[in-house]
DNA sequence: TATTTGACCAAGA
DNA sequence: ATCTTGGCCAAAT
């Protein structure tokens, strides 16, 4: 299985109402390639099956979605709100919504 | 095979 | 608080 597919599998494990950071996701993959994880997302061959909108930056910002345009960011933000996540000033409470893979 | 790039992260100024 | 720099790993060229 390629690195990307592992990212997708792991990302699909993330429950609704929770989010993960690129770093945490990479850590769960037993690696530190958080940047490569982002690449895997933009490739996104599995489209809506993989909740790439649940993946955000470690600083609490949304990161990117289809592009780095604010408009698309709004869309991602809206999806997260639909999950029950509250965003404050385009920032998310990591300690509250960050999902941990290992336990 | 080597260099560059990227939906990033952490630290320094 | 924001901006810049260096570093990380994998994929693209």
**Is the C-beta of residue A91 closer than 7 Å to nucleic acid chain B?**
no
Sequence length of chain A is: 103
Catalytic residue among A52, A62, A80, A87: A52
Measured from Cα to the C1' atom, the residue closest to C9 is: A33
Q: What was the pLDDT predicted at A47?
A: 80
Q: Which nucleotide is nearest to A64 (CA to C1')?
A: B7
CA distances (Å), A76 to each of A28, A40, A51, A53, A81, in order?
A: 23, 17, 10, 6, 9
Question: Rounded to two decimals, what is the model's pTM?
Answer: 0.93
The predicted-structure confidence for A44-85, as pLDDT tens digits, reads as follows 878 889 999 999 999 999 998 887 777 888 899 999 999 999
User: H or E element: which one contains A43?
Assistant: helix A34-43
């Amino acid at each position: 299985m390629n690195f990307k597919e592992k990212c997708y599998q792991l990302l699909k494990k993330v429950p609704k109402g929770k989010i993960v950071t690129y770093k945490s996701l990479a850590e769960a993959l037993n690696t530190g390639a958080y940047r490569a994880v982002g690449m895997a997302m933009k490739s996104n061959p599995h489209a809506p099956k993989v909740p790439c909108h649940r993946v955000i930056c470690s600083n609490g910002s949304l990161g990117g979605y289809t592009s780095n345009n604010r408009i698309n960011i709004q869309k991602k933000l809206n999806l997260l709100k639909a999950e029950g996540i509250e965003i404050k000033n385009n920032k998310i409470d990591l300690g509250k919504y960050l999902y941990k893979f290992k336990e």
